[in-house]
Amino acid sequence: MTRTVPALLAVATVCSIGSAQGSAQAPQTLDSGTLTATAVTPMGTRTSTEEFTIVRNADKGFTMTTVSAGDRRMRTVLTTDSLGMPLTYEHHGIGGEAVEKTIKSNNDGGALVISESSTRNPPFAPFRVPANTLLFGEGGLAQVWFLGLGVVPRDVAYFDTGFWREQKARLSDAGPDSVTIEGSPVAASHFVLEGGLRKREFWLDSQKRVLKVSQGSSFVAVRTKRP
């Protein structure tokens, strides 16, 4: 018995460590869904969709993948640390007069540098993203989810690839609300990011899943199915 018991304990310990390591390394899908967006423009009302998936990575960071369809087709992949700060970014879009644009990133001495190429416009100069700065990309409506990782209210610095400039805004809690999805109300928390060039509002459910996003008064996107 004096030999058997330690041996069994050793086996159990190895199995326990292996199980813990396996579970720690397994990516976890936190949210996945589709947003249907409606935009009111001088040329009429336009609709589009955005499919998104949010995964927690083995290093406790996150990867969000979005695929948009409508007047412009776009695919974006954003990887962040555990606080939502960008580590890598890749975007490709085509449409709207057949203009094709690609945005990529590289690491330069520990800092994220993003650059673009376009079939129509001369590219913007590469941008070195400052520390503690979020990133919002074109075709990434669900990226407001990263705002929910920190305390509210707070000041937020972010880089918007649509305007290709850094902006500063104030994130506040607008209180409890509800979002109608599939004809029924879903309880939500309503947040507002205001102070940059584009006001953003978003609604999350009790599990921090994206329900609704709006930009200004003429653009709104709502989840097509209940989470």
CB 77 within 8 A of CB 140: no
What mean pLDDT is reported for the chain?
89
What would the mean pLDDT of 56-81 be, rounded to a whole number? Answer: 96
- State residue 197's pLDDT score: 86
Provide the pLDDT confidence category of residue 135 given band limits of 50, 70 and 90. Answer: very high
For 29, other C-beta atoms within 10 Å of its C-beta total 9
Specify the higher pLDDT residue, 108 or 1.
108
pLDDT in tens, 145-204: 999 999 999 999 999 998 999 999 999 999 999 999 999 999 999 999 999 888 999 999
Residue in this structure with the two tokens 């205001």, named with its chain if needed: 194
For 189, other C-beta atoms within 10 Å of its C-beta total 18
Please tell me whether the overall predicted TM-score, pTM, comes out greater than 0.95 for this model.
Answer: no
pLDDT in tens, 102-134: 999 999 998 999 999 988 778 899 999 999 999
Closest CA to 220 of 184, 115, 125, 212: 212
Q: How far apart are CA 196 and CA 183, in angstroms?
A: 33
Q: How far apart are CA 220 and CA 145, in angstroms?
A: 15
**Annotated domain spans of the chain:** 27-223
pLDDT in tens, 32-41: 999 999 999 8
- State residue 98's pLDDT score: 63
